[in-house]
Homo-oligomer: A and B are copies of this chain.
Amino acid sequence: MWRPSQLPELAGRLKSSGVSLDPARLTDLTSHPMNAVISLGGCTASFVSPDGLAITNHHCANGSIQFNSTADRNLLETGFTARSRSEELPAAPGTRISVTVAVTDVTGPVHRGLAAGLSGRQRYQAIEDRKKELIAACEEDPGHRCRVAAYHGGLEYELIKQLEIRDVRLVHAPAGAIGNYGGDIDNWMWPRHTGDYSFYRAYVGPDGKPADRDAANVPYRPRHHLKVSTRGLKEGDAVLVAGYPGSTSRHKTAAEAEDAFEWLYPTRTRVNRRTIELVARLTEGLPDAAIKYATVVSGLSNTLKNNEGMLAGYERSTLLRTKQELERGLRRWIEADPEHRGRHLPALDELGSLAARERRFRERTFFFGEVARRGALFSAARTLVRLAEERRSPDAAREPGYQDRDVGRIRDRLSRMERTFDAAVDRGLWRQAILDYAALPADQRVAAFDEWFGIKAEGGAPEGLDARLDGMYAATRLGAKEARLALMEATAESLAADQDPFIRLAVALLPADRALEEEQKEQDGRMEAARAGAMGALASYLLAQGRPLYPDANGTLRVTYGTVKGYRPRDGVSYLPFTGLTGLLQKETGKDPFNSPLALLEAVRAAGSSRFSDPALGTVPVNFLSDVDSTGGNSGSPTLDGRGELAGLLFDGNWESMTSSWEYQPDVKRAIHVDIRYVLWVMEHVHGAGELLRELGVESSSSSPSASSR
Contact = CB atoms under 8 A, between A and B. Distances in A.
A16 interface: no
Contacts of A190: 572
Interface residues of A, number: 22
Contacts of A572: 190-192, 575-576, 578-579, 583, 623
Interface in A551-605: 568, 570-576, 578-580, 582-584, 586-587
Given A316-B586, A586-B316, A575 B575 contact: no
A582 B576 contact: no
A587 B573 CA distance: 13
A573 B574 contact: yes
Contact of A573 (B316, B573, B580): B573
Interface in A69-107: none
Contacts of A587: 570-571
A192 B570 CA distance: 11
Interface in A273-330: 316
A316 B574 CA distance: 22
Contacts of A574: 573-576
A317 to B, nearest CB: 12
A586 B570 contact: yes
A460 B580 CA distance: 53
A105 to B, nearest CB: 44
Contacts of A316: 586
A587 B571 CA distance: 9
A571 B575 contact: no
Contacts of A576: 568, 572-574
- Identical copies of this chain, number: 2
Contacts of A584: 571
A584 B572 CA distance: 10
A314 to B, nearest CB: 15
Contact of A191 (B193, B570, B623): B570
A576 B576 CA distance: 11
Nearest to A624: B572
B571 A586 contact: yes
Nearest to A585: B571
Contacts of A575: 572-574
Contacts of A583: 570-572
A192 B571 CA distance: 9
Nearest to A619: B571
Interface string A188-213: 00111100000000000000000000
A121 B295 CA distance: 72
A571 B190 CA distance: 10
A653 to B, nearest CB: 16
A593 B381 CA distance: 55
Interface string A17-46: 000000000000000000000000000000
B571 A191 contact: yes
A466 B316 CA distance: 53
Interface string A625-667: 0000000000000000000000000000000000000000000
A316 B580 CA distance: 17
A177 B582 CA distance: 39
A584 B316 CA distance: 13
A233 to B, nearest CB: 15
A573 B192 CA distance: 10
Nearest to A574: B574
Contacts of A582: 571
A352 to B, nearest CB: 33
A162 to B, nearest CB: 38
Nearest to A190: B572
Interface in A527-564: none
A174 to B, nearest CB: 20
A584 B571 CA distance: 8
B586 A579 contact: no
A673 to B, nearest CB: 13
Nearest to A583: B571
A371 to B, nearest CB: 38
A390 to B, nearest CB: 53
A214 to B, nearest CB: 46
Nearest to A581: B571
B578 A191 contact: no
A125 B690 CA distance: 75
Nearest to A580: B571
Nearest to A191: B572
**Interface centre among A574, A578, A584, A586, by most B CB within 10 Å?**
A574
A384 to B, nearest CB: 50
Contacts of A580: 571
**Interface centre among A191, A572, A576, A582, by most B CB within 10 Å?**
A572
Interface string A145-167: 00000000000000000000000
B573 A191 contact: yes
A193 B570 CA distance: 12
Contacts of A623: 572
A532 to B, nearest CB: 39
Nearest to A589: B315
A193 B573 CA distance: 13
Contacts of A192: 572
A194 to B, nearest CB: 12
A3 to B, nearest CB: 33
A619 to B, nearest CB: 9
A473 to B, nearest CB: 47
A586 B623 CA distance: 28
A48 to B, nearest CB: 27
A393 to B, nearest CB: 57
7 tightest A-B CB contacts, nearest first: A571-B583, A191-B572, A572-B579, A574-B574, A571-B579, A572-B576, A191-B571
Given A571-B583, A572-B575, A574-B574, 16 more contacts: A191-B570, A191-B571, A191-B572, A191-B573, A192-B572, A193-B571, A570-B583, A570-B587, A571-B579, A571-B580, A571-B584, A571-B586, A572-B579, A572-B583, A573-B573, A573-B575
Interface of A: 190-193, 316, 568, 570-576, 578-580, 582-584, 586-587, 623
7 contacts: A191-B570, A191-B572, A193-B571, A316-B586, A573-B576, A574-B574, A574-B575
